[in-house]
């Protein structure tokens, strides 16, 4: 049997590097945070488009471990935006049957934001529709480092036999342990790099790098990318029959 993805079937899990908010704003003579607010509104549209397009899992890259290098004003503005976004959208998530999860290193985030993240996860825990995962203070190398420490601790304390450690073991310690690996990773804004995002999980993902800036990324563009994915021959190292 060919390893092609189920004869034109679309991806079940899509991950998106949402890039270009700042440039979108600057092109309009506005501050970068104006673009981030526009990008947050775009997230709602894409989440709502997932069920009719057959996407069960959507993971979005909201703030990386490297983004702390940005100006203090932009970082503070982003943290305020995240808090407002979660408060504003929480009930909407429940209404739309969206289950929300957060991945990333939480301790560096302020307590109010962490509490809102916990509340959103608890409120949507019973939702059975789209699974929305928000990567916040996330970096894949940081994630693997944290996972390896937990794995090493289990070995040191006798809960895990070193002989049993293999490539199936580490994923159980990753932030994404409850999620399937992404089938498709999309990056907007014309940049062709993966920026430390889901490195382990995306080993066999398909990639789409597009010029569209994130605030201009529509459900129609999303649908076209999903259709492109369905036409690809995914062999996972094998050869077609």
Tell the residue number behind the tokens 């560096």, with chain if given. Answer: 108
Is 206 annotated for ligand binding?
yes
CB atoms within 10 A of CB 230: 16
Residue 203 pLDDT > 70: yes
User: Interior CA angle at 106 toward 103 and 172, to 5°?
Assistant: 45
Residue 230 pLDDT grade (very low, low, confident, very high; cuts 50, 70, 90): confident
Residue 133 falls inside a structural domain? yes
pLDDT for 2 equals 29
Residue 214 annotated as part of some ligand binding site: no
195 found inside a domain: yes
pLDDT one-digit tens code per residue, 74-129 = 999 999 999 999 999 999 999 999 999 999 999 999 999 999 999 999 999 999 99
Between CA 207 and CA 82, with CA 121 as vertex, the angle to 5 degrees is: 70
68 is in an annotated binding site: yes
Report if residue 194 sits inside a domain. yes
Say if residue 6's pLDDT is above 50: no
Active site residues: 19, 67
Cα angle 90, 99, 107 (rounded to 5 degrees) comes to 75
> Does 168 appear as a known binding residue?
no
- Domain membership of residue 174 (yes or no) is no
Count of domains in the chain?
Answer: 1
Confirm whether 156 is domain-assigned.
no
Residue 212, domain extent: 13-139+180-229
22 is in an annotated binding site: yes
């Amino acid at each position: 049997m060919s390893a092609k993805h189920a004869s034109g079937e679309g991806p079940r899990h899509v991950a998106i590097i949402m890039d270009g908010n700042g440039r979108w704003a600057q092109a309009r003579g506005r501050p970068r945070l104006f673009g981030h607010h526009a990008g947050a509104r775009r997230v709602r549209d894409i989440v709502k488009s997932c069920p009719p397009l057959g996407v069960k899992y959507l993971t979005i890259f909201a703030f990386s471990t490297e983004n702390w290098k940005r100006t203090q004003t932009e970082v503070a503005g982003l943290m305020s935006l995240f808090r407002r976004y979660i408060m504003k959208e929480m009930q909407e998530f429940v209404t739309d049957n969206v289950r929300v999860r957060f991945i990333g290193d939480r301790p560096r985030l302020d307590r109010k934001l962490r509490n809102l993240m916990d509340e959103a996860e608890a409120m949507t825990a019973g939702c059975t529709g789209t699974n929305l995962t928000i990567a916040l203070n996330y970096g894949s190398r940081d994630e693997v480092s944290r996972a390896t420490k937990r794995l090493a601790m289990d070995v040191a304390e006798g809960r895990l036999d070193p002989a049993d450690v293999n490539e199936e073991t580490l994923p159980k310690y990753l932030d994404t342990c409850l999620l399937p690996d992404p089938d498709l990773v999309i990056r907007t804004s014309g940049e062709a790099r993966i920026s430390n995002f889901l490195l382990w999980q995306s080993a066999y993902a398909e990639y789409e790098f597009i010029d569209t800036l994130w605030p201009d990324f529509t459900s129609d563009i999303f649908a076209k990318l999903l259709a492109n994915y369905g036409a690809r021959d995914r062999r996972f190292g094998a050869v077609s029959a």
